[in-house]
Amino acid sequence: MLRSMRLLRWSLALLLLLAGPALAAAPVTLLRVDGAIGPASADYLLRGLEHARDEGAQLVVLELDTPGGLDTSMRAIIKAILASPIPVATYVTPSGARAASAGTYMLYASHVAAMAPGTNLGAATPVQIGGMPGAPPEQPQGERDEPSKPPGDAMSRKQVNDAAAYIRGLAQLRGRNAEWAEQAVREAVSLSASEALEQKVIDYLARDVADLLRQLDGTTLATVEGDATLSTAEAPLIEHAPDWRGGPRGGGCACWR
């Protein structure tokens, strides 16, 4: 009898030992963009999502502080987020940071939109690179043609209408405030983090990454490959800092909160 009990204890201990790695939470990949959105940051984020898949990550957290950037780079990033089988949480941090212009679109595209206290987003009206359009040629004296709108106006209206439809579609996809999103494009309005949470522009207000992961624990998110339930309260972080290309260094830095 005593021998049987000992064998049972050893068997249970062995099972727990073998089950340990399987029960451990999948990692969370941590990326960081601090500055304008351009080709380098797009390359970094796209490669970061690839690293996350290779690492078996359950979630990608993108820490963001940007004044905006190029439309083409922003759209490449958003396409990658929308197609990602791993949910992406874009988190505007630290306090004093912003997700202006292109950053607002990225927040709306992400599976999770979060901000730290003391941050802001908005002012998402598209602007032309290279300054204001040139003035129309002067009319010879004596001609009294009806005033016409500058040729750049039609193009500006097209850009604004396209951008408004784009961000409204992202808002509807993620169930966020579509009316305010369109205002951010057409009227360049902005919100503080607390106002954004109150108006359902974002999903979470978090002091830091650890606080965000605690709030996300147990949440189920829809991805292109189906629903994913997060187990982030005790998940290890794998951080990928940008390298000289603006992309994540291979291997990453495994960290614990």
Active-site residue set: 101, 158
What DSSP assignment string belongs to the chain? -HHHHHHHHHHHHHHHHHHHHHHSPPPEEEEEEES-BSHHHHHHHHHHHHHHHHTT-SEEEEEEEB--B-HHHHHHHHHHHHH-SS-EEEEE-STT-EEETHHHHHHHHSSEEEE-TT-EEE------TTSSPPPPPPPPTT--PPP---HHHHHHHHHHHHHHHHHHHHHHHHT--HHHHHHHHHT--EEEHHHHHHTTS-SEE-SSHHHHHHHHTT-EEEETTEEEE---TTPPEEE--B-TTSSBPSS-EEE--
Task: Give backbone dihedrals phi and psi of 148, rounded to 5 degrees, phi first.
Answer: -125, 155
* CA pair distance 244, 40, nearest whole angstrom: 9
Question: Do the strands 59-65 and 88-92 form a parallel or antiparallel pair, or are they unpaired?
Answer: parallel
